[in-house]
Amino acid sequence: MKDIIRNDWTIEEIQEIYNTPLLELIYRAATIHRQYNDTGEVQVCTLLSIKTGGCPEDCAYCPQAARYNTGVNVHALMQKDEVLEYAAKAKAAGSTRFCMGAAWREVRDNRDFDRVIDMVKGVNEMGMEVCCTLGMLTEAQAQKLADAGLYAYNHNLDTSKEYYKEIISTRTYNDRLDTLDNVRKAGISVCCGGIVGLGETHADRIKMLHTLSTMPEHPESVPINALVAVAGTPLAENQKVDVWDMVKMIATARILMPKAMVRLSAGRSTMSVSDQALCFMAGANSIFTGEKLLTTPNPSFDEDKAMFDLLGITPRVAFKEEKELIG
């Protein structure tokens, strides 16, 4: 029924949804999507890596971890003006959310953080929704970002609590949940999802979706990434993710969290337009645009424009919820 958002899903219920025959699952997700959202609309976000590589963490999928030889170009924190130039380019290309990523384990209270605060103010003043993904945050740091105008914070659970230890040993699942709490307390929009293709089981995917959909408030955005297997990382030889696995995850996420922006995130550069159309059909309503994600390739602005034209999709305007509330 419309406007009943549930936070009490059981694992069994999620399992049942996830295992629904695919065409029926897509139909159900598409129906819910139509009830809650404007399906002709997709949010367009652009990522920029403001500090690249040299990360002390050991996330097995990540090209930016210092301990793996991935050939990524290590770069210290960018200057504010350069970042604002990228944001302006993204805005001109139709993007409404700009997300700045740093290869940090956590934020420290130093001059680099002050510079990020200035970047947040600058992008916010340009009229874009500004998002950051900087690793772990304290409550005070989250508040400082909120005061500077940060709209959203991305911090992914990546997989189930049980499988997390197999992928990352330098922090815990609870560390992730604590940061998400701090973000929520500061009144920042939560962007939290995961990765498909890490070697996890279907049960792990279901458990991750359970954790997300039983949070006291659902994340406002849920990125579903397909692993981009990068040479030099421990997961370099993992099998390419099947599009049907992405469709299943997206459709299940849509049914569980009807109002969330479900983002078809990493992995689009190896997906056909028909594959992506299936994901939109199944409830995805957000993408990252721009030639690069953080360090890996992504379709160009022009390719995505052609896809939007073909499918009759229009980009979602910035601050849509706030505008609707004002009326």
Query: What residues act catalytically?
Result: 55, 59, 62, 99, 131, 191, 263
CB of 301 to ligand DTB, least distance (A): 17
- The dihedral built from the CA positions of residue 253, 255, 261 and 267, taken in this order, carries a sign that is positive
Q: DSSP letters of 92-127?
A: HTT--EEEEEE--SB--SSHHHHHHHHHHHHHHHTT
| 65 contact choice in ligand SAM, ligand DTB, ligand SF4, none (CB below 5 to 8 Å, kind-dependent) | ligand SF4
CB of 62 to ligand SF4, least distance (A): 3
Between residue 76 and residue 115, which ones bind ligand SF4 under the rule CB under 6 A?
A: 103, 105
- Per partner kind, with CB cut-offs from 5 to 8 A, the member of ligand SF4, ligand SAM, ligand DTB, none near residue 53 is none
Which residues inside 115-174 make contact with ligand SF4, applying CB under 6 A?
Answer: 135
DSSP 223: E
Q: Using CB under 6 A as the criterion, what x/- string covers residues 208-227 for binding ligand SAM? A: -----------------x-x
Q: Which does 315 bind (CB under 5 to 8 A by kind): ligand SF4, ligand SAM, ligand DTB, none?
A: none
Tokens of 123: 């992008």
Phi, psi of 32 (to 5 degrees): -65, -40
**Quick one: tokens of 156?**
């992914």
Closest CA to 42 of 224, 323, 312: 312
Cβ-contact 46, 95 below 8 angstroms: yes
Site for ligand SAM in 8-47 (CB under 6 A): none
- Nearest approach, Cβ of 135 to ligand SAM (angstroms)? 4
Q: Which segment (29-37, 74-82, 117-125, 221-229) binds ligand DTB by CB under 6 A?
A: 221-229
Nearest to 99 by CA among 284, 230, 286, 273: 286
The single-letter code of the amino acid at 38 is D
CA distance 142 to 183: 6
**Vertex 287 angle, CA 86 and 325, to 5°:** 90
Coil, strand, or helix at residue 32?
helix
Among 87, 145, 152, 230, binds ligand SAM (CB under 6 A): 230
Distances (CA, A) of 131 to 45, 167, 203, 278: 9, 25, 31, 27
The binding site for ligand DTB (CB under 6 A) comprises 47, 63, 101, 133, 154, 156, 193, 223, 225, 228, 265-266, 293-296
The binding site for ligand SF4 (CB under 6 A) comprises 55, 57, 59, 62, 64-65, 103, 105, 135
The binding site for ligand SAM (CB under 6 A) comprises 61-62, 64, 101, 103-104, 133, 135, 155-156, 158, 195, 225, 227-228, 230, 266, 294
